[in-house]
Structures are given as C-alpha cells and as structure tokens.
C-alpha cells in the first residue's frame, strides 16, 4: 500500500495577516498530491489554535474536501479498535499539542471526525486491508510532555501480526529537540519496539532515523519559526511503500522562501550598519520570487549605533516579511552608549524575564507573537487555556501521586483520555 504522511499544517497560523493563506496554500498542494494514496496519516497540529475561528474551519473543510474526491481502495479490518465509514481517500489523524483540550471539550480534529472527514485516533489502532495486505496505524494523540512516558506506558501499543505497523505520536523526543530537564519527556528508548515505522509530528523539519527503531519526522508544511534550521530544511510530506519499505520525502513548491542571515555589526556606526543590512538585503532579493520571502536578520556583535528595527522592517515591507533580532550576546549589543533599540528589543527583554520566572510549560513566545500581531482576544484565550490546564495538573497531583512524585495509575488512565 501507499501511505502518505502530511504533518503540522497549522491551519489558522498568522490568520488576518499577510501570511494568513499560507497554511492553506501549502496544505492544499500536499492534499492534492496525496489524494490517490491508499491511506493518508496526519500526525497532529492540523490547526494552530485549540478553538479556531469559523473562517479558519471553513477553509480547512475546503482543503479536506479534496480527499472526498479520492477513491477508497482499502477497508478497515476486524482487528481495528475503531469503526468508520470513509468517504473518499481514508484519512487518519491524531490531535497535537496545539489542539489538545481538556476532557469534555471537543477539539477541532474531533470535530472533523464528526463531519466524516477523517478518523481520529487517541490510544487506538486502525487496521486496513487491501488484496490480503494489512497496514496497522497505532495513534497516540498529544499529551502534556511530562505525562507522555506514563501515557505511552499505559497505552502499550503492540504490533498487529502479519501487518505493516506504524506508530504515530506527537511529542518532543529527547536529543531530537530541546526538552526541559525539569519534566519527564520521551526518549528513543521509551518508544515501542517491533514497529516497522515510528512517525512523530510536532518537530517542524524532516528527519529520518534508521536503526532498531526507524523514526521519521515529516516536518511541518508551514514555516512557524524563522530560524536557521527551518531556513535550511524544505517543507513537504512523506510517502511510504509498505510492500518495499521505501520511504520518500516530497518537497512542496508552495511555501515561501525563508532566508536566515546573521550580520556582524561589531563596532559599526548607525550608517555603516544600515549600509551592511542594505547590501545583504539587495543580495537576498535579487531573485524574483512568486511570494514575498521571509527574512530573519540576526544582528551580532557590540555596537553603539542606535537603530530602530521597526524602521528597517518598514523600509523593506514591500519586498519581504522581516524579523530582526539581537544576537545571543544581547548584553554586548546594547549599552549606555546607544544600542539597537525599539519596542521589539524591550519585548525581547520582557520575554527573557518571563522565561526566568514563569512556569516552563507556558508558551511565552506564542503569547508575545499574538500580542505583537494585535490579537488580544487570542492572547487572553491562551492564558485562560493554560490556567485551566495548570489547574487540572495541580488537582491531579493532589489527588494521586506515586512514590516518585509522578501521576498515579488512576490519573494516568484519565490522561489517556485527555483531550
């Protein structure tokens, strides 16, 4: 069978901005190119918000209607934990960290399931058959990172006999991405053995690790972090031939170009710094692109120049969507003699203070991004969602904690149903 994996579409990201259509453009290309697959797997973060706007839901439905035009070539086996009547190309999804909601609340992936656009898995297995071949998709939807090891232990997925087995999850994995030392998180050793393929959403750049546990990270279809890694890695989706085991990454043509540039401003005066930025921007913008590119400038070094980042952004607003940040040695860049200043640098200082004083699980960058975009209601919703989740976690801790200070069995059972 042919299995297509399209991850982290983040519908609604940068909504009401110049980039608002990007998630849909990129996903639409991926969906059109995978509509003839036997099975399509979506490893979470289909949406960027737990409660997306109706307009976002509407555009997402338009995208999923593409799969309605496909042909169902497989059937669910009696080995499955679930039943579903697929209309067109069978689509299986888990929810991710951006969609996870408290128990009793419907998340947007579940909503799509109720509308018959996909099958949502959370600690369940769906087994498909075609011409005597079986493919089993085991799905564990996203849970808070510190609970992931216990939830996976409780789920304890076992490969289905005589089938090609895929385990799909949406979590950070130690050593593949930064994980907080203050909380438990999954490691490669935690991941179940005996599977033909492990598939992880959540991490936004493609990786394929072979070994005792073959793991693929399809990456996102949209750029959400204008960092060096995303600038170097293309956006796309993965296809697998389960008969041969061949795995292929397929690059998309829709995503905007991202340029990540570090500029040494050591000892430069204001005019010199502007000249250097102008020279580099002219080089980057030589090629005519279909979409306005993303440009991340990182200014490194010590300088007495006083430059407003907002003015630089405005200068190139017709040619690029820019992000300008100070380098890692912020203390050397800004000082009494001047510095690279404006409200953005104040925001960065405030973010650093918050990172040092706020619960490590709080999405500070998301909050600042919403505030920067003027999405006050979204920022309020984010804070309220985190307060609810933190309250649930504290209550769970009071109700039952084992001798190691981890959630007891009763609460792990609740977390396996955590939405």
The answer as to whether 378 is a domain residue is no
Question: Above 60 in pLDDT, residue 391?
Answer: no
* pLDDT tens profile 263-312: 888 888 878 888 888 888 999 888 888 899 999 998 888 877 776 778 88
The answer as to whether 269 is a domain residue is yes
Q: Assess whether 247 and 265 both reside in one domain.
A: no
* pLDDT tens profile 215-263: 999 999 999 988 899 999 999 999 999 999 999 999 999 999 999 999 8
Q: What is the CATH number of the domain that holds 224?
A: 3.60.21.10
Per-residue pLDDT band for 201 (boundaries 50, 70, 90) equals very high
Q: Alpha-carbon distance 21 to 108, whole Å?
A: 19
Q: Assess whether 210 and 88 both reside in one domain.
A: yes
Residue span of the structural domain in which 390 resides: 383-416
Q: Domain tally for the chain?
A: 3
| Contact (Cβ atoms closer than 8 angstroms) between residue 177 and residue 394 | no
Q: Assess whether 389 and 411 both reside in one domain.
A: yes
Q: Give me the mean pLDDT over the 199-225 stretch.
A: 94
Q: Assess whether 197 and 288 both reside in one domain.
A: no
Give the pLDDT of residue 359: 56
| Boundary of a domain, candidates 222, 251, 280 | 251
More confident residue, 55 or 381: 55
The answer as to whether 26 is a domain residue is yes
Q: Assess whether 263 and 231 both reside in one domain.
A: no
Q: Give me the mean pLDDT over the 111-135 stretch.
A: 96
The answer as to whether 225 is a domain residue is yes
The answer as to whether 369 is a domain residue is no
| Boundary of a domain, candidates 192, 220, 251 | 251
The answer as to whether 367 is a domain residue is no
Give the pLDDT of residue 356: 55
More confident residue, 361 or 87: 87
The answer as to whether 86 is a domain residue is yes
**DSSP string covering 142-172:** ---GGGHHHHHHHH---PPTTSEEEEEE---
Q: Assess whether 90 and 229 both reside in one domain.
A: yes
Looking only at the bridges linking them, the beta strands covering 306-308 and 339-341 are parallel
Give the pLDDT of residue 395: 46
Question: Above 90 in pLDDT, residue 329?
Answer: no
pTM check: above 0.85:
no
| Boundary of a domain, candidates 342, 357, 372 | 357
Per-residue pLDDT band for 385 (boundaries 50, 70, 90) equals low
Q: Assess whether 7 and 142 both reside in one domain.
A: yes
Q: Assess whether 347 and 396 both reside in one domain.
A: no
The answer as to whether 370 is a domain residue is no
Q: Assess whether 163 and 90 both reside in one domain.
A: yes
- Average pLDDT of the chain? 83
Residue 88 makes CB contacts below 8 A (sequence gap 6+) with: 35, 67, 68, 69, 70, 71, 72
Burial class (CB in 10 A: 0-12, 13-18, 19+), 120: buried
Q: Which residues of 230-260 are buried (b: 16+ CB within 10 A; e: fewer)?
A: bbebebbbbbbebeeeebebeebebbbbbbb
Q: Assess whether 100 and 164 both reside in one domain.
A: yes
Q: Assess whether 238 and 274 both reside in one domain.
A: no
Q: Assess whether 180 and 314 both reside in one domain.
A: no
Kindly state the percentage of the chain with pLDDT values over 90: 57
For residue 115 the two structure tokens come to: 């509308």
């Amino acid at each position: 069978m042919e299995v297509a994996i399209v991850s982290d579409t983040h519908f609604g990201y940068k909504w009401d901005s110049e980039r608002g259509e990007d998630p849909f453009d990129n996903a639409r290309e991926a969906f059109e190119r995978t509509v003839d697959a036997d099975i399509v797997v979506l490893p979470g973060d289909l949406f960027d918000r737990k409660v997306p706007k109706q307009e976002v839901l509407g555009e997402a439905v338009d995208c999923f209607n593409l799969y309605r035009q496909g042909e169902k070539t497989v059937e669910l086996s009696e080995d499955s934990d679930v039943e579903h009547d697929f209309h067109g190309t069978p689509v299986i999804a888990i929810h991710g960290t951006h969609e996870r909601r408290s128990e009793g609340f419907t998340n947007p992936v579940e909503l799509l399931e109720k509308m018959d656009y996909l099958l949502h898995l959370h600690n369940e297995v769906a087994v498909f058959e075609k011409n005597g071949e079986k493919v089993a998709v085991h799905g564990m939807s996203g849970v808070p990172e510190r609970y992931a090891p216990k939830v996976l232990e409780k789920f304890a997925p076992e490969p289905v006999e005589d089938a090609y087995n895929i385990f799909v999850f949406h979590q950070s994995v130690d050593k593949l991405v930064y994980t907080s030392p203050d909380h438990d998180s999954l490691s490669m050793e935690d991941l179940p053995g005996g599977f033909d393929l492990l598939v992880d959403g959540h991490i936004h750049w493609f990786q394929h690790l072979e070994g005792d546990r073959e793991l693929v990270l399809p990456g996102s279809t949209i750029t959400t972090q204008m960092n060096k890694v995303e600038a170097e890695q293309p956006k796309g989706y993965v296809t697998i031939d389960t008969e041969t085991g061949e795995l292929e990454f397929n690059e998309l043509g829709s995503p905007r170009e991202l340029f990540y540039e570090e500029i040494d401003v050591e000892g430069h005066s204001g005019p010199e710094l502007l000249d250097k930025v102008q020279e580099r921007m002219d080089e980057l913008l030589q090629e005519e692109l279909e979409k306005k590119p993303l440009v991340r400038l990182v200014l490194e070094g010590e300088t007495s120049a006083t430059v407003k980042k907002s003015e630089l952004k405005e200068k190139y607003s017709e040619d690029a969507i820019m992000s300008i940040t100070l380098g890692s040695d912020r203390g050397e860049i800004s000082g009494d003699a001047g510095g690279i200043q404006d409200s953005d640098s104040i925001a960065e200082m405030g973010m650093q203070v918050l990172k040092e004083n706020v619960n490590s699980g709080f999405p500070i960058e998301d909050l600042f991004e919403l505030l920067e975009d003027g999405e006050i209601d979204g920022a309020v919703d984010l804070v309220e969602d985190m307060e609810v989740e933190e309250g649930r976690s504290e209550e769970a801790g009071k109700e039952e904690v084992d001798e190691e200070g981890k959630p007891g069995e009763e609460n792990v059972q609740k977390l396996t149903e955590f939405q």
